[in-house]
Structure 1
């Protein structure tokens, strides 16, 4: 059945149902697994059929320890804008339990999906910070044209720009760091706490070459006691480097993340 779903073979699905002497509605939770597979493999006709037959659009199919996310998050992460619209029209939740679809779409640089989700009321702040997080320069520029104010207070006590700069430092992205600083995001501050200072974040969660890059941009050096910050993942600890899209973020590879 799942093989037929992945291939979009509605006629074969119907033959299997007939051989089982059952209907889609009687498949129970298995319908949700079928929905996830149909979305993952971009089979819109199957998705439509399942939703018409009462499948829960917001279900988490693999809930037993396998956090793939709800259907709209999967569609958004793949850039399937037509499926995102279909799911939204059938009541898909913009605040999916595992991850908001706007985050997945923006991290992946899927501009058309981001546009659609914003039309339906998704958070511009989440889109902006996630675009930075995913190294998506083109999407960052689009959101700035849409009116994102990096100096505005976000959901936390930080401004949107400060939160975005934090993500750019942690994900080791000099291009994003430079853009945000050019937009007026402060590189030297202790707001709301000294631990939010860009240099402290770089020394605690990033890498030496990012520290040097910040210094070249005018950041003030800060003393950081790494013994008191056990959650660090400095680049010198190669087994602890951040991964993004299967890529270890280093001085050599950071450009690959948004590009490929």
Structure 2
């Protein structure tokens, strides 16, 4: 592994490397979006190239689709795949119940659709993403552009009666213009600081006209793999109620990093 990788990237790599061990020949696999998920796609591509692993990937964004094709993973859409064996993705936050905040990369809608169309979801992350209460990371809410300011005002009104610590909302920008999702929508980020009842908030948000989806992933994740900079990994299985500790050997194999050049 190149020495110039930061400790956080080594932690992400360790989690990603362990997660792809759960992928078996013939599987249909949801491919997440974001920096940690990118490591997973590279690790999976290495298995495809070196082991002849036969899989079909369903990407959760155009960025992930481009990367998967670049490294030799067969890519199809969800309508073609229909149902998936496994989705592997990152998260912006997770708590002890493996409830998540996702969408920092702007792909929350496709990520949630793909994850819920899977038998199992594994989240790969580092220890910094674990929180006692969700909400320190801004909660993304995807909204349609038409009347988005009205939708934002309705969200702010709803938050008054919600168990949160903050109620500031901001339109996500790309430079000076609104950030546009793959579906052509906007994202409003909610700066809540702490979410008292994530399940109730997720339901309330999706009842507001103009809201397409929110970044709270409730009862979707089955396992979290937490990577460390020295190759240590912790596997938490919410269904089995187990926690396992392992170590990944950072081999001197540079193949996975060739595409970084």
Report which of the two structures shows the higher radius of gyration computed on alpha carbons. 1
TM band (smaller chain): under 0.3
- Structure scoring higher RCO (CA < 8 A, sep ≥ 6) equals 2
What TM-score, normalized by structure 2, do the two folds share?
Answer: 0.27
Richer in helix (by share): 1
